[in-house]
Amino acid sequence: MGKPTGFMEYERKTSRAEKPEERVKHFHEFHKHLSREEQQLQGARCMECGVPFCQSGMMLAGMASGCPLHNLVPEWNDLVYTGNWEQAYERLKKTNNFPEFTSRVCPALCEAACTCGLDGDAVSTKENEYAIIENAYAQGYAAPKPPGQRTGKKVAVIGSGPSGLAAADLLNKRGHDVTVYERNDRIGGLLMYGIPNMKLEKEIVERKVAVMEAEGVTFLTNADVGREIQPGHLLKKYDRILLACGASNPRNIDAPGRDAKGIYFAVDFLAANTKSLLDSDFADHKYIDTKGKNVVIIGGGDTGNDCVGTAVRHGCKSVTQIEMMPKAPEKRTEENPWPQWPRICKTDYGQEEAIALFGHDPRIYESTVKEFLKDEHGNLKAVKIVKLQEEKDPKTGRIQRKEVPGSEQNLEADLALIAAGFLGSQKYVTDAFQVDLDAATNVKTEAGSYQTSVERIFAAGDMRRGQSLVVWAIREGREAARQIDESLMRYTNMYIQ
């Protein structure tokens, strides 16, 4: 422990965000990060606890506490403090294939479980991670390092999201020949088209893909496996196949008037926006424009917030976000003690921007859609919502949400975005591979295994576990890679934390 009293001497500092009124004018990342010297002092705040919950990744009260990748947080925090940046990078890379992604988009489960956060401010671990990986690129530590020997085994990875990329990265480093198939025109899966550019600039994804290509991974785009490319062809060509296609079936809102013009799924809205931005800086107009429109977003979470931020950047007239759940408390309750994930109200970047521009929080809690109202031309003109209240079922004890009579209200709306989550893997892919599914239409595997019901075919990521975080997808890809390696070689020297 380089600075035993660091957590008492230095206050938590994080990057400074550009003012909402300014950052809504562009789609670039908008944080000004600390200098190396300032970041090193933030590393000094780490207490190097005897029991570091930050790296535990265990489930408490149904939620993850600490990093699911079991990142060696106290070790590289200390190395940051002492200025040993290259060693910090080596420790970070032992557990995380893509710190350039997680340091931007992860909700920082490590910080929520930080001991300093028990009675103060958590260590700025996520920003220490950012500093480590960006310094590694600047200094050349993150340059391509191709494997010295090849095994002659071939693996196909279907899907290039974080899970597929993590598996491909490790399998290639082991010496297997890896080909990644992506149905879209760019590599990255949800990293490319599911997360807006202001959260994760796409050149960051492309930078890492270029490193993996230089190390020997083959990437094929516009390759729709299950439609244009059949599994039989792949099974003849490859020794193993990993399905990592994500959970890309959006949950619908089945309410009267759903056929109105102007209702879109959030995933389509965000994907079209990013593609148009990358293809032409919006000159092609192939995106869902919110300029001058009243926008209603149905659903909370990261996706709903991303829709708010995107709609605001295009100049919407108003934006409202509907959430079924009650507003969370401002601070932890006694029923939600540290180191559980804090169930508290979070105002994210998009909501901050809406507040700055429109003068109020865009969220309406404990409400759901009752009806979509159309004009005489079939266009959406309003969304009728109704308040919900929680009631406990006297027989089962379960909490139910019921409509509050007489609480309906109409929200003027020219455009509605459904951000209600996802419902498992896409049918045409699973049908093509004839793999068994669970009740949630995720690919079924035995507990602790990534092997599907079909020989030589594995599954990982959201396609196997359901919609989740990028950090969980990376963990799944890493563990699946280890099992694939063992099935190919009859042993494995991959050490997964």
**pLDDT tens for each residue of 88-102:** 999 999 999 999 999
**Other beta carbons within 10 Å of 490:** 7
pLDDT band at residue 75 using 50, 70 and 90 as cut-offs: very high
Crossing angle for the helix pair 73-81 and 85-93, to the nearest 10 degrees: 170
278/271 Cα distance (integer angstroms): 11
Q: Tell me if 270 sits within 8 A of 305, measured CB to CB.
A: no
Name the band, by pLDDT with cuts 50, 70 and 90, for residue 424.
Answer: confident
With 0-12 / 13-18 / 19 or more C-beta atoms within 10 angstroms meaning exposed / middle / buried, residue 396 is exposed
Class of residue 421 by CB neighbours under 10 A (exposed 0-12, middle 13-18, buried 19+): middle
For residue 1, what pLDDT is reported?
A: 63
Domain 154-248+423-489 maps to which CATH number in 3.40.50.1000, 3.50.50.60, 1.10.10.10, 1.10.287.610?
A: 3.50.50.60
What are the DSSP E strand ranges found in 183-254? 218-220, 240-243
Percent of the chain with pLDDT over 90: 92
**Could you report the per-residue pLDDT of 351-364, keeping only the tens digit for each?**
999 999 999 999 99
Q: What is the pLDDT of residue 50?
A: 86
- What pLDDT is attached to residue 395? 82
Residue 37 to residues 103, 111, 131, 404, Cα–Cα distance (Å): 19, 21, 11, 56
How high is the pLDDT of residue 494?
87
- Phi, psi (rounded to 5 degrees) for 49: -60, 150
pLDDT tens track for 206-263: 999 999 999 999 999 999 999 999 999 999 999 999 999 999 899 999 999 999 999 9
Give residue 397's pLDDT band: very low, low, confident or very high (50, 70, 90): confident
Whole-number pLDDT of residue 497? 58
Q: What angle do CA 282, 201, 113 make, to 5 degrees?
A: 140
Q: Within a 10 A sphere around the Cβ of 251, how many other Cβ atoms? A: 16
Q: What is the b/e burial string over 64-93, where b = at least 16 CB atoms within 10 angstroms of the residue's CB? A: bbbbbbbbbbbbbbbbbbeeebebbbebbb
- Answer whether 301's CB lies under 8 Å from 420's CB: no
Burial class (CB in 10 A: 0-12, 13-18, 19+), 226: buried
Which tens digit of pLDDT belongs to each residue from 137-166? Answer: 999 999 999 999 999 999 999 999 999 999
Give the H/E segment covering residue 295. Answer: strand 294-298
Six-digit token pair at 392? 């406990």
Averaged pLDDT, 46-55: 91
Q: pTM of the full predicted structure? A: 0.96
Tokens of 70: 């079991």
The mean of the pLDDT values for the chain is: 96
Pick the CATH number of 263-418 from 3.50.50.60, 2.40.70.10, 1.20.950.20, 3.30.470.10: 3.50.50.60
Please name the CATH architecture into which domain 6-139 falls. Orthogonal Bundle (1.10)
- CA 232 and chain centroid, separation: 32
CATH 1.10.1060.10 residue ranges of the chain are 6-139
Q: Write out pLDDT tens, residues 286-333.
A: 999 999 999 999 998 899 999 999 999 999 999 999 999 999 999 999
Strand partners, 380: 374
Q: Residue 3 — very low, low, confident or very high, per pLDDT cuts 50/70/90? A: confident
With a pLDDT cut of 70, the percent of the chain lying above it is 99
pLDDT band at 392 (very low <50, low <70, confident <90, very high): confident
Question: Residue 432: which pLDDT band, with cuts at 50, 70 and 90?
Answer: very high
The encoded tokens of residue 258 equal 């759903």
Neighbours of 482 (CB within 10 A): 20
Rounded Cα–Cα distance for residues 438 and 248 (Å): 16
Largest Cα separation within the chain, whole Å, is: 71
Domain with CATH 3.50.50.60 in the chain: 154-248+423-489, 263-418
Query: Above 70 in pLDDT, residue 196?
Result: yes
CA-based nearest residue to 3, from 44, 39, 42: 44
CA dihedral angle for residue 301, residue 306, residue 312, residue 317, rounded to 10 degrees: -50
